[in-house]
Structure 1
Amino acid sequence: MTFRHLFLKNFSASSANTHAVYTKHDVYTHIAYTVEQFLMLPSITLGNHEYEKSGEVYIPLSICQQFYHNGSLSPANESFRIDTHVDEECSLIYPLHPFSTITANPLNFTLHFERLLAVTVKFTLKSVNLETVQYHELPDCYVFNIMITFDNKPHSGRIGIDLDNDVQIYECRDWTVTGASQRDMYIMVLFDIMVILILLLSLLLCTRSVKAGVLLQFEYAAFFSRRYSKRVSFSDRMEFINGWYILIIVSDVLTITGSLLKIIIQLKAMASYDLCSILLGTGTMFVWIGVLRFMGYLKKYNILIITLRAAFPNVIRFSCCAAMIYLGYCFCGWIVLGPYHTKFRTLNVVSETLFSLINGDDMFATFKNMQQKSYVVWLFSRLYLYTFVSLFIYMVLSLFITLITDTYDTMKHQRLDGEPVSDLQAFIMQCKDPPESGHFSVNETRFLMCCFTHRTCGSDD
């Protein structure tokens, strides 16, 4: 935002996506304004921005125009001749070079507007982030590669202007910090190492438990097939695999990786802030979701977990069917309404708009902003929006909620009337001591403890 206000003429935050020029004079004026601000930067900036150097020479600002190799247009005669090969011309302006006031074309740089595709202004700035000093961390040195684009690809008489910058973060080469201790940084590194070691232990234990469950599942399936000549159902097989352990394993892997990246960033070896934050944030989310596991031990509080687990297969199947209808509306809106409505210009924006409509958000604006240049398309948009809202809010969303509420009622009645016993539960119920008792005894039943002792029962056992 700072660079946009510094280098874009007449920029305002409200016009960030619509900043544009409409005359040749304005194009030259805006380019000249950017160059002037660049040359005057040390005396006008509120930050500590400076020019990039290559050795002892400042890196210049470059102005490049891309245009068709050759061509002539005659709209009045409805004729044109275009060579679609793209040429590029560039002009370099070095910092600390005298620059006059703005005129119609102060750069002596002629643009080929009839064939012009784009004009790009590129330059590099450096800065130091002093904010981290107060947190007892070494400041970072930033390199900003800034590019301002004047986009004329549509050739519509409107040239959009946008500024983009790519930041690279490095450890400053020559620094001296007085009045602050760097011990806090190393304490944080030691804390991260301790967290990693604890998570590695957790990962090892959970992996071992999952492996034991999988082995026991195969042993039970083989025994059941041999003893009763029956196949073990998928739901019974999943009883041997603890989903909470899988969640903890994923959380540990994400947090360990994120913590290693965090240590590397703190040591100024790299600056992958986005990846580090995604890993740590997702790992933290899974940790807090895992706290629900302990609520499952309280019978009055585990109804949410039981309901979600029971409803999950039906919800997934229902969502797959509803997604087909949703995608159909997305493609239809993008193809038909895209030229007439800003909320249907791209497939991604269409999906966001329709999802907002399902939740009752921004509904009036979606109807109101439809352009009425074509009565047929306007009438189609009304039919399209009314049918989508009616179908998804009154039917699809209601059915989605009904699936979950029905599952909740079913689980509630099962808790009162007693749950149906599966083959696995019936097999376990033959034990004199239930699994949750912590100890097991073998009575005179022939095959009572085969699965719990990890032995294969023979015909004579």
Structure 2
Amino acid sequence: MDKEGIPSQTNTPAIYVNETFDDVVTPRTRPTANTSDEQETSKSRTTTRTREERRLRTLLKVFFYRPVKWENSTCYIHIIYLIIFAIQIIKLSLLTKQMLLYGNDRAKFNSIVHRGHLTLRHLLLKGWDASWETVPYPPAHGDFAVYTINSLEEGIDFAVQQYYNAEIDAIGYYKRVHSDSMDAIVKYFDFPGFHDADVDKGIDINEKHFSIEHGLTKVQTDSGTVYNYSIADELEFLNLSQPMKRMLTTTLKFNIHSVRPHEKTKHALCLSIKGEVTFTDIDNNGQVHVDLDTLTSKINCHTMNVSVEDLKLEYTSIPISKAVLVFCVISIVITVLTFIFGIYVCIKTKLYMKKNYKQYFDVKETAEESDLPVDEYLRFLLLKLWDIPLLISDCFTVYGTYWVVFGTEGSDWVISLLDSYTVILGMGCILAWLSMLRYFKVHNKFHLLFSTLSRAISDVIAYMICVTVLFVGFWICGYVVLGPYNVKFETPASTAETLFALVNGDEIFATIAMFDDDQTGSSSIGLFARFYIGVYVCIYTIVVINVLVALFLSAYDAIKAEPGDKRLGPLEKAIQDVIREKDGQQIRSSFYDLLSPDGHRSRVETTLRDELQNIIKINEKSREIENVKLKTLKSFIRDEIDKRLECSIGFCKFSMSLFVGEEPYAN
């Protein structure tokens, strides 16, 4: 048995087949040097295997690698890149663990902020209840709003009073430090003829800023100081006449602090909360929308004069984060070095082939070809495309992890900050897992996904361009025509999301049922909506999706049906199959007669002979035909058998090499 588990044919001349990495490579029998011809052949072989050639082949073997390969019950293990693979596995494991731990901390802080936001809504907004906290779909109620001047003034008074009484009334710990206060901004309009408005022409927009103080009164009780407030008194002091009647917006800006204790660590999370209570009627239609926005930051507790330990990231492990930094830096260094090494090997290969191409590949001196095809050199670039997501992943991970390790202490956290670093780490994690797919060419079945995508990508791109043009038409039409009457089409973004959902047939009935025919100006809108959705679903669900699936199935079937080297032409494949047939001796003899230098041939036979000489050659000693070397880097690399350390365990054989195995290309 040879090293690939194929019975050796010691009694018959060996056939050297090396077009593909999956072909059988039988050791070439060396002729005994009993004749001068045999000595010349041996001398020629020794001459062609120059030191430069061996060095270049070694460099190519190091560059085109695959850590592990399973073929013909043999597991090929390549030490150098197996170590690199182990580094990536360790890095990915640590990164995944860090992401899970950091995700827990971020989710907990988000929960604290969200619950505090809901508390302030209940505390500051008059009439707010739990029914407004859910987001039912379709919406069960309209906007939270007021419609009378009295309700508006009561809402403003309530918000101001509750803010100043929060330290007493609120269940949670809220505190106003010396820098905390509440200010108001009233934006209103004037136009000619509106009571005592001093405007001669057009509409005049005015904005008034003032601190909450003149309408604020204090009442001393047993539990502490209780505050009351009247916006009417404040406006009277400011000499503003009926601003509520002509109000566009009223904004109450405030600052307040809070402390959240942590039971397990006995530390505290101190928060600074900046908020705005807004009363908005931007077109003065009589509906004043009421809302509260807050920005919560984690701060150091000493700024509040609270003598407790600050709560840091509870779950995130600093040692794991530091280990991630170390392995990411190692990965970046290895990736950059492989880029530089790839450029070096490509230049060395180019120089060698330019000098020795015709002699090595037995190309006629009169032939025009003098170098490998361009796509062979593109393999240096294509192989390193896998390193691009890996390098981006490492950079993202280092940037995000550095903040986790060194930036959390002494910094003020806000949700947007944590979210931004979570996105960075999340993208790094996705790309890190994606880059691991390069190692899944252990067996041909594992890279069917990428082979299929590569085969179908051009057809899919052309098809999707046409589909996108059609989609844009439906998108614009849906937003313009249906937007005012359906919440799912009220913005360009929601329209696009709705159309994407409808591709899979989601909520077709709900989308149609949400149209209120009573609100439309014409009954044609309702009819158009049903026709529009029906046509869109039919086109995209029945036609577009199925054609897209057919494109991938066609590429998959083509990949499965392609044996051997996919870059071989039909003639080369056919001749290769004929040569490898055991009962093809007659055809072999015909090829030998055609390729032999003796005899007269017709013009057609001469043309065929010239073509065959580029593919196969004859062995004068054994009168057998052999495959000639393909003009590829694969053929050049495989022209030398590696020395391996092999061992067998049961029905499996393990082969270890410092370089590469039968398939050096990690596509």
TM-score tier by shorter-chain length is: 0.7 to 0.9
Identity of aligned residues (%): 22
Q: Does 1:201 align with 2:318?
A: no
Change in 2 beyond 3 A, CA 1:291/1:46: farther
Hey, what does 2:256 align to over in structure 1? 125
Contact 1:72–1:81 under 8 Å retained in 2: no
- Further displaced range: 201-210 or 187-196: 187-196
Q: Does 1:376 align with 2:524?
A: yes
Equivalent-residue separation in structure 1 for 2:315 and 2:523 (angstroms): 68
Hey, what does 1:300 align to over in structure 2? 445
Change in 2 beyond 3 A, CA 1:103/1:250: closer
- Further displaced range: 62-71 or 222-231: 222-231
Deviation at 1:28, TM superposition (A): 1.4
Deviation at 1:304, TM superposition (A): 2.1
Equivalent residues in 2 for 1:7-406, closer than 5 Å:
7-15=124-132, 18-54=143-179, 59-72=180-193, 82-93=202-213, 97-98=218-219, 111-131=242-262, 134=264, 139-173=268-302, 176-177=307-308, 188-217=317-346, 228=369, 232-233=374-375, 236-237=378-379, 240-271=382-413, 272-372=417-517, 373=520, 374-406=522-554
Deviation at 1:222, TM superposition (A): 7.7
Deviation digits for residues 34-67 of structure 1 (CA, Å, limit 9, x no counterpart): 122212211222222212422xxxx332232101
Contact 1:8–1:34 under 8 Å retained in 2: yes
Hey, what does 2:635 align to over in structure 1? 430
Q: Gaps spanning 5+ residues in structure 1: where?
A: 75-79, 440-451, 453-461
Residue identity opposite 1:430 in structure 2:
S
Contact 1:9–1:30 under 8 Å retained in 2: yes
Equivalent-residue separation in structure 1 for 2:203 and 2:637 (angstroms): 89
Match of 1:300, SS? helix
Deviation digits for residues 50-99 of structure 1 (CA, Å, limit 9, x no counterpart): 12422xxxx3322321012444579xxxxx96424333253514989346
Match of 2:446, SS? coil
Change in 2 beyond 3 A, CA 1:242/1:381: same
Contact 1:67–1:87 under 8 Å retained in 2: yes
TM superposition score normalised by structure 2? 0.57
Equivalent-residue separation in structure 1 for 2:641 and 2:144 (angstroms): 67
Match of 1:64, SS? strand
- Further displaced range: 382-391 or 83-92: 83-92
Equivalent-residue separation in structure 2 for 1:213 and 1:96 (angstroms): 78
Equivalent-residue separation in structure 1 for 2:421 and 2:643 (angstroms): 42
Contact 2:217–2:229 under 8 Å retained in 1: no
Deviation at 1:114, TM superposition (A): 4.7
Match of 2:445, SS? coil
Contact 1:141–1:172 under 8 Å retained in 2: yes
Equivalent-residue separation in structure 2 for 1:181 and 1:382 (angstroms): 56
Change in 2 beyond 3 A, CA 1:436/1:129: farther
Equivalent-residue separation in structure 2 for 1:436 and 1:301 (angstroms): 26
Equivalent-residue separation in structure 1 for 2:261 and 2:421 (angstroms): 22
Deviation at 1:146, TM superposition (A): 0.6
Q: Gaps spanning 5+ residues in structure 2: where?
A: 1-117, 134-141, 220-225, 358-368, 573-628, 645-659, 661-667
Equivalent-residue separation in structure 1 for 2:119 and 2:348 (angstroms): 65
Contact 1:126–1:141 under 8 Å retained in 2: yes
Deviation at 1:234, TM superposition (A): 9.5
Deviation at 1:437, TM superposition (A): 5.3
Change in 2 beyond 3 A, CA 1:129/1:264: farther
* Larger RCO, structure (CA 8 Å, separation 6 or more): 2
Residue identity opposite 1:125 in structure 2:
I
Change in 2 beyond 3 A, CA 1:331/1:81: farther
Contact 1:119–1:151 under 8 Å retained in 2: yes
Change in 2 beyond 3 A, CA 1:327/1:129: farther
Match of 2:484, SS? coil
Deviation at 1:212, TM superposition (A): 2.8
Equivalent-residue separation in structure 1 for 2:181 and 2:259 (angstroms): 20
Match of 2:566, SS? coil
Change in 2 beyond 3 A, CA 1:135/1:410: farther
Equivalent-residue separation in structure 1 for 2:384 and 2:352 (angstroms): 21
Match of 1:301, SS? helix
Change in 2 beyond 3 A, CA 1:319/1:217: farther
Deviation at 1:369, TM superposition (A): 1.0
Residue identity opposite 1:35 in structure 2:
V
Contact 1:428–1:434 under 8 Å retained in 2: no
Match of 1:197, SS? helix
Deviation digits for residues 185-223 of structure 1 (CA, Å, limit 9, x no counterpart): 899434423321221111110122133334545666787
Match of 1:154, SS? coil
Contact 1:61–1:121 under 8 Å retained in 2: yes
